[in-house]
């Protein structure tokens, strides 16, 4: 058997936490769980790093005091504007560039270190599922695929809330398992505009564009150092 694509990681994490009675009414710690096609703002995104024994819970809330996300949004609006007028055709590129500049260091190990070092008053780190705002990583100027996808999706939702764009924003995640059982995971932002055109925003691989442009078969995507972004229902 060759490489296979798996889309069930969101459900897998939820099921584990439901069994531990940590998910109630699809909420974790009082916030809705961010999944594919769910709203992003004011939610919490759950990730596992099994090799590091880490459960991560990242909060996306632009209304917290001194919100770094709110500052990023203002930066993205400015970047997408010409002579003070917002140019909608520049929004996607502005979002990606703003997120890259905000978290220029892509370093999973540094993310793990931050999670373990962010202890509460009881000495519990954020590596065991204690919620941590994405703003924390923006302050540290460090990110990974999850943080980049969440930040991009959050900024797009803020543009949508201000009625500058229409359509659907999603944080997508899938995994590729090779014939030896090794699993690679990726997370990215997917935007579908009002005309049904799908765009991929993926900071780590510096990929931004229409989904049709990434319509590779799995093996070709790997060979091109890209990723199989398209959903099974896309028919691409």
pLDDT tens column, 36-88: 999 999 999 999 998 889 999 999 999 988 899 999 999 999 999 999 999 99
Token pair belonging to 85: 């007028």
What does DSSP assign to residue 234?
G
Q: 69 near 62, Cβ under 8 Å?
A: yes
Mean pLDDT over 25-31 rounds to 92
pLDDT at 69: 97
Is residue 46 classed as helix, strand or coil in its secondary structure?
Answer: strand
pLDDT at 203: 94
pLDDT at 236: 62
Mean pLDDT over 127-151 rounds to 94
30, pLDDT greater than 80: yes
pLDDT at 149: 98
| Residue 175 belongs to domain spanning | 4-234
Residue 4: phi and psi, rounded to 5, are -130, 150
pLDDT tens column, 94-111: 999 999 999 999 999 999
C-alpha span between 44 and 61 (Å, rounded): 9
- Supply angle C-alpha 227, 229, 235, rounded to 5: 130
Domain count, the chain: 1
Which among 148, 131, 14, 163 is positioned nearest to 72, based on CA atoms? 148
Q: 186 near 174, Cβ under 8 Å?
A: yes
Token pair belonging to 157: 């939702």
Question: Which stretch, 23-32, 34-43, 48-57, 223-232, has highest mean pLDDT?
Answer: 34-43
pLDDT tens column, 194-224: 999 999 999 999 899 998 887 666 777 777 8
Dump the DSSP string for 207-231. Answer: EEEEGGGG---HHHHHHTT----S-
119, pLDDT greater than 60: yes
List the beta strands (DSSP E) in the chain: 4-6, 23-24, 27-28, 31-32, 43-49, 54-60, 81-82, 85-86, 105-106, 128-133, 142-143, 168-177, 183-192, 198-202, 207-210
pLDDT at 146: 96
Which residue bears the tokens 């949004």? 73
């Amino acid at each position: 058997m060759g490489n296979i694509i798996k889309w069930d990681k969101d459900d897998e994490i939820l099921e584990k936490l439901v069994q531990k009675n940590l998910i109630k009414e699809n909420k974790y710690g009082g916030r809705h769980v961010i999944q594919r096609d769910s709203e992003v703002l004011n939610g919490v995104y759950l990730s596992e790093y099994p090799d590091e024994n880490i459960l991560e819970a990242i909060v996306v809330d632009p209304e917290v005091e001194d919100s770094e996300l709110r500052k990023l949004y203002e930066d993205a609006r400015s970047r997408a504007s010409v002579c003070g007028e917002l140019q909608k055709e520049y929004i996607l590129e502005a979002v990606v560039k703003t997120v890259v500049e905000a978290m220029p260091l892509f370093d999973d190990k540094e993310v793990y270190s931050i999670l373990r070092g962010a202890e509460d008053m009881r000495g519990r780190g954020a590596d065991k599922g204690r919620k941590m705002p994405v703003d924390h990583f923006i302050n540290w100027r460090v990110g990974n695929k999850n943080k980049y996808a969440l930040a991009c999706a959050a900024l797009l939702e803020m543009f949508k809330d201000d009625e500058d764009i229409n359509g659907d924003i999603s944080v997508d995640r899938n995994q590729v398992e090779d014939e030896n059982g090794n699993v690679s995971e990726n997370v990215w932002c997917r935007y579908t505009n009002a005309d049904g055109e799908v765009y991929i925003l993926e900071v780590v691989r510096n990929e931004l564009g229409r989904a049709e442009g990434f319509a590779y078969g799995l093996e070709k995507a790997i060979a091109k150092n890209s990723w199989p972004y398209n959903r099974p229902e896309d028919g691409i």
